[in-house]
Amino acid sequence: MSLGELAAAAGLRVLAAGRWPESAADTEVPALPGFMASSFSPLAAEAARRCLDAQPSGPGAGPPVTAVVVASALGDLAGAVRVARAVDGGERLGPLLFFQAVPNAVAGHLAARRNLTGPVVCVGDARSGVEVAEALLADGDAGLALLVLVEQSAVPGGTDRAAAVLLAPGAAR
Amino acid sequence: MTDTVPAAVRRGPRSVVVGGMGVLSAFGRGVGPLLGAALEGRAAFGPVGRFEVAGRRVDRAAAHPGRPLLETELDRAIGAACTAAGLSGARRADCPLYLAVHGDPALARAAPERRAGHSVGAFAAAVARRAGLSGGGRAYTSGCTASADAVADAASAVARGRVERVVVAAGYLVDADQFAVFDAGGALARDGRVRPFSAGRTGLLLGDGVAAVVVEAADAARARGAGPLAVLAGWGRAGDAYHVCRPRPDGAGLARAIGAALHRGGVGPERVGYVNAHGAGTVLGDRAEAAALLRAFGPAGARVPVSSTKSVHGQALEAGALLELVVTVAALRVGRLPVNAGLLGPDPDCPLNLVRGPAAPGPPPGGYALSLSTAFGGANTALLVGVA
């Protein structure tokens, strides 16, 4: 099921959505300053940017508290493989790999850029991400939840993908 | 961002308790050795022998002797927690597992065609299957707040009546890859000690932690005759919206997480008798956390006893929050306060009432304790526990 279908099944409204790649024109995910050696964080940032830019503008009462939930089955696979190879080969690691080691880092990037002050949570699959978002909204920890799904290709040469949805509590809740 | 309690924070009506606990730390298996070290302020840091550290800036961690396996230790901790909680095989069968780990340890070195089978979800499902927990699994990967997220979500689901109980488990064993990135980032303490909130602190040190707890509805525990270890009274989470890896200096995000936990628990700051702080031992992190405590507690923030048990067991990353919740619950039960070890002297930027020695009195009867965690990305969590 897509993120939108999972969200609908959980009784949530999808206010906006974005993904990468979206069309044949998406050949190279835009670089993200400060992040290196892996597409993981750039993918998350680009899908989230497209999602948030597609959000219909509200009445101007200020942004609601928005949670950031990142879901990924393999996490930053390219980064993890690079670190493992460097460790096994006795190479020195660059300091930037330090904060990239957890998916929270790009969530923090998004939160800082867009003033998203809700909880930051990372989980291992899309369904868990939707369930966590639903609970955060139901419990009032956030008024909206940005859910970003990131999947790098497990094999060399495959396509890396990311999708993002901005979720709100369902109308009937 | 000046308020410390999000206006809309609420919770389901059921009371939530912590049942059995199982743990492995650098001090060995079981809650007793860990609690003993925390109460005495006896740190476990020593030279790393588990993997090659030649060429690293720092060679220390708090590691259990030998080369424990994450899967085996998770199985043991979950088994210990379920047994201590008196959960029968049948009751385990409909119980979900929320597991906080960095990932499948085998992923980064698996052949490309086998990587898909090493997802963190598959790893969690395998742990659940071996433990006889067939109610579904969920993996949390949010760094140092991952296991607090798992506890908070378990508490939320139980409070809302979505589920009777959840087994929450977490594991991190000091490994060459994470050690290398933390060393490369200059995050590890150059003097080989973790000195939370102290003058002259130089950073964090990694430590082993594998823990499991049963989070259960109080009425369900009562109905099966189980005596809970503690009440999980409140939980709160909020983000800094500040930086990729630096904490917000004014502590406003963590203060809101604390406020949400106290609000859910219906507890005022004056009833909190102990705070197990995140207290990683970093200059910026400890300073921001002190600001958060003063912001959330008001005048009581300078009085409440505070320590970071990372000063003895180190930073267990994804498992840290759960390891520290175990220590906090155990300390609450014996009415004594874990020591903030490694203090060299006061830091004027951290004007907290630190627990300086083992003679400190315990929390007042009926008192509550908070366990705090923060992570990269500005993630902040607070868990509030009370005497059962």
Instruction: Name the burial class of residue B190, with classes exposed (0-12), middle (13-18) and buried (19+) by CB atoms within 10 angstroms of its CB.
Output: exposed
CB contact under 8 A, A111 and B242: yes
Q: How far is CA B238 from CA B168, B258, B271, B304, B348, in A?
A: 21, 9, 22, 22, 26
B136 touching A, CB under 8 A? no
In chain B, domain spans: 1-388
| pTM value > 0.95 | yes
What is the total count of domains within chain A?
Answer: 1
Give per-residue burial for B202-218: e unless 16+ CB within 10 Å, then b.
bbbbbbbbbbbbbbbbb
Residue to test with chain A: of B235, B237, B373, most A Cβ within 10 A: B237
3-state secondary structure of B167: strand
Looking at A31-158, which runs of residues are DSSP E strands? 66-71, 120-123, 144-151
Instruction: Say if strands B137-140 and B97-100 run parallel, antiparallel, or are unpaired.
Output: parallel
Range(s) of the domain holding residue A155: 3-56+64-169
* Closest Cβ–Cβ partner in B1, B156, B184 for A93: B184
Which residues in chain A land under pLDDT 50? 172-173
CB contact under 8 A, A74 and B145: no
Query: End-to-end alpha-carbon separation of chain A, Å?
Result: 23
pLDDT, position B209: 98
A78 touching B, CB under 8 A? no
**Separation of alpha carbons B70 and B41, rounded Å:** 26
* Closest Cβ–Cβ partner in B178, B183, B379 for A120: B379
User: Assign residue A62 a region: left if phi > 0, alpha if psi is -120 to 50, beta otherwise?
Assistant: left
Contacts of B202 (CB under 8 A, 6+ apart): B189, B190, B191, B195, B281
* Closest Cβ–Cβ partner in B156, B177, B244 for A105: B244
φ, ψ for residue B175, nearest 5 deg: -130, 160
**Separation of alpha carbons B99 and B108, rounded Å:** 19
A8 touching B, CB under 8 A? no
3-state secondary structure of B72: helix
A156 touching B, CB under 8 A? yes
CB contact under 8 A, A106 and B121: no
CATH number at residue A126: 3.40.47.10
> H/E/C letters for each residue in B186-232?
CCECCCCCCCCCECCCCCECEECEEEEEEEEEHHHHHHCCCCCCEEE
Q: Are B275 and B336 in contact (CB under 8 A)?
A: no
B113 touching A, CB under 8 A? yes
Q: Are A94 and A36 in contact (CB under 8 A)?
A: yes
> Does an H or E element contain A135, and which?
helix A126-138
Q: Are B264 and B9 in contact (CB under 8 A)?
A: yes
> What are the average pLDDT values for consecutive 10-residue runs of chain B, which has 388 residues?
67 97 98 98 97 95 96 98 94 95 98 97 97 89 98 98 97 97 96 98 98 98 94 98 95 98 96 96 98 95 95 98 98 94 98 88 74 97 96
What CATH fold (topology level) applies to the domain B1-388? Answer: Peroxisomal Thiolase; Chain A, domain 1 (3.40.47)
* Residue linked to tokens 């406003």: B252
